[in-house]
Amino acid sequence: MRALPLVEKDSWIADRVRGANVLHVGCTDWPLTEDRLQRGRLFHDRLWESAARCVGIDLDPEGIALLKHTRPEMEFHVANAETMAQDPSIAQTSWDFIVAGDVVEHLDNVGQFFQSARKLLCDDGQLIVSTTSAFSAKRFFWLLFTAKEQVHPDHTGYFSEATLERIAARNGFSIAELYGFQWRNPTAKNRLAYAASRPLLAASRGRLADEVLAVFTKQGDAP
């Protein structure tokens, strides 16, 4: 079993896209967009500072309106991640990177998202996806001790390396790199879950992390 190196997700992505043209899918942080703005912790700001060009899209019209108001120097559009390649605001564009942080677990049709991303990426471009891991040790311990699943009310699915590889292969991608990421929220529940899961995380060589971060490249013909 290969190790899953752990990274600090936001910093890693911002460094990877430095100087490039980036389409940021899921650029708001619903329902926390206003709070993130007030605290200076909106991830899109980091991408915009790092990239040569960074355009944000999201299905959340209120969040996009707020970002347009508070960030008039930036470009934002209301668009659906699954059908973004047909959206007039970005159709016919081409990108070095498409970044979708914590997006795919909210979608109805993940395959459509990958197909749209393929149409919008440069031939040598990369799709960067982070998503909640199906094998998070923290959620395992929470289920074990409370008999309740810890599931975000808007999540439709969790992913693993194998399922990401399959959805990628079906839609003209392959995984080039794979990493893990741990949430360290300051809540008592999260600190307890992190402490309890550390032995399993170490024993699994990172594969039981909270999230997986995958870098996809185009392969073969379009589906």
**pLDDT given for residue 59 in this prediction:** 95
47 domain residue, yes or no: yes
Query: At residue 153, does pLDDT exceed 70?
Result: no
36 domain residue, yes or no: yes
Which of the pair, 26 or 41, is modelled with greater confidence? Answer: 26
* Residue range of the domain that includes 123: 9-132+155-182+210-218
Residues 6+ apart with CB under 8 A from 81: 25, 26, 57, 59, 100, 103, 107, 113, 116
Q: HEC string of 155-185?
A: CCCCECHHHHHHHHHHCCEEEEEEEEECCCC
101 domain residue, yes or no: yes
Tens of pLDDT, residues 29-80: 877 788 888 888 899 999 999 999 999 999 999 999 999 999 999 999 999 9
139 domain residue, yes or no: no
Please give the Cα distance from 223 to 205 (Å, whole number).
Answer: 35
Across the range 144-161, mean pLDDT stands at 76
User: 162: how many CB neighbours lie within 10 A of its CB?
Assistant: 9
198 domain residue, yes or no: no
Tens of pLDDT, residues 73-118: 999 999 999 999 999 999 999 999 999 999 999 999 999 999 999 9
The CATH number for 26's domain is 3.40.50.150
Please give the Cα distance from 53 to 75 (Å, whole number).
Answer: 9
Q: Are the C-beta atoms of residues 105 and 158 closer than 8 Å to each other? A: yes
Q: How many domains does the chain have?
A: 1
Tens of pLDDT, residues 127-143: 999 999 988 877 777 76
Q: Are the C-beta atoms of residues 36 and 29 closer than 8 Å to each other? A: yes
187 domain residue, yes or no: no
The structure's pTM equals 0.90
Q: How far is CA 21 from CA 53, 94, 99, in A?
A: 5, 8, 11
Residue type, 13: I
128 domain residue, yes or no: yes
193 domain residue, yes or no: no
**Which strand ranges, in their side-by-side order, compose the sheet holding 53-58?**
75-78, 53-58, 21-25, 95-101, 121-132, 211-218, 173-181
